[in-house]
Amino acid sequence: MSRVPSEKEIPRFCGWNTFMKLPAGSSGRLGDCIGVFGVPFDGGTSYRAGARFGPQAVREASATLYPYHRRHHIHLLESAAVVDGGDLSVIPTDIEQTLRSIHRQVVERVGPGGRSLFLGGDHSVTLGLLRGIRELWGPLALVHFDSHSDLWDSFWGGRYNHATTFRRAVEEGLIDPNRSIQVGIRGSLETRQEAEFAKEFGIAEIDAQQWLKTGPEKTAEAVRRRVGTGPVYLSFDIDVVDPAYAPGTGTPEVGGPSSAVAIETLRGLAGLNVAAMDVVEVSPPYDHADITALLAATVAWEGLFLLVQARSPA
């Protein structure tokens, strides 16, 4: 099993800058380990850049997170081998080549049946991640937390960016729309047609107002009913949370849930067959006192427990 140094041995602000102070994995396939990987790319950003620095900031903020979960009554590192696999290689000036590279690296590093957590990066990286996880796991349900649907067809003539990720994923057969759901959608739109994107593709939607009205427990129940028992890819855009709690992001939208509501909803997904998860769109240049990075680290930490429980269901 993995081991992190005790605070009695070394202060948490010392030592290596891996996620949660986890051991660093090899540069090859991680085998039976759950791997944490950074994806430091923001070439798909349409407004405020800086998400390429997200993985580094999230890792640094994670230093204060420990391996025992008092709610799930699980010690992470007694349940699985978990390592930080470092960053995937990206090409800052070429988004399509980056997506192909991410796809290839996921297949090589994660391997068949492997479960993994990815730290972005902007939301365009999810397309490359989905290509890899789909190849390893087969058809995927998508659970997508975001203030935006990311179902645009193109942006300024470009078909690959953080606003088109899930349209491309549907077109490429990476996700099953009939088992997929988006949570937290809100904000102003340029045209009336944009409000119908999810319906157009058959993806279920729980907008921010519904989420806040029904609460975390019932929202999590609706997600569970939608995705069923098959493999799930969980994508968490930090801008789904209100910018009062997560200002450090590229396209913030007011009127979202608190960090507590978001985390409680994630905890309600325990037992889903989560194959992989990402946490994206953290832009440290716009953060204040690292609160966005800490929230993203905590979301990722919660995600590791979802992966562990999917790996070893009760």
Give the C-alpha separation, 41 to 168, whole Å. Answer: 18
Cross-strand bridge partners of residue 74: 69
- Is residue 286 included in any domain, yes or no? yes
Give the C-alpha separation, 52 to 89, whole Å. Answer: 12
What total number of domains does the chain contain? 1
Q: Which residues are annotated as a binding site?
A: 123, 146, 148, 150, 237, 239
- Is residue 121 included in any domain, yes or no? yes
- Is residue 213 included in any domain, yes or no? yes
**Cβ distance 166 to 258 under 8 Å?**
no
CATH number, position 211:
3.40.800.10
Give the C-alpha separation, 270 to 266, whole Å. Answer: 8
- Is residue 271 included in any domain, yes or no? yes
Q: Which amino acid is at 19?
A: F
- Is residue 5 included in any domain, yes or no? no
- Is residue 2 included in any domain, yes or no? no
Q: Which residues are annotated as a binding site for Mn(2+)?
A: 123, 146, 148, 150, 237, 239
Assigned token pair, 72 = 């799930």
Q: Which amino acid is at 216?
A: P
- Is residue 138 included in any domain, yes or no? yes
List C-alpha distances in Å: 199 to 52, 106, 182, 264: 32, 30, 11, 27
Q: What is the pLDDT along the chain (314 residues), one digit of tens a residue?
A: 456 666 667 777 777 789 999 988 776 677 778 999 999 999 999 889 999 999 999 999 999 999 999 999 999 989 889 999 999 999 999 999 999 999 999 999 999 999 999 999 999 999 999 999 999 999 999 999 999 998 888 778 889 888 899 999 999 999 999 999 999 999 988 888 888 888 889 999 999 999 999 999 999 999 999 999 999 999 999 999 999 999 999 999 999 999 999 999 999 999 999 999 999 999 999 999 999 999 999 999 999 999 999 865 44
Give residue for tokens 């989560």. Answer: 274
- Is residue 197 included in any domain, yes or no? yes
Cross-strand bridge partners of residue 6: none
Residue numbers of the domain that contains 47: 19-309
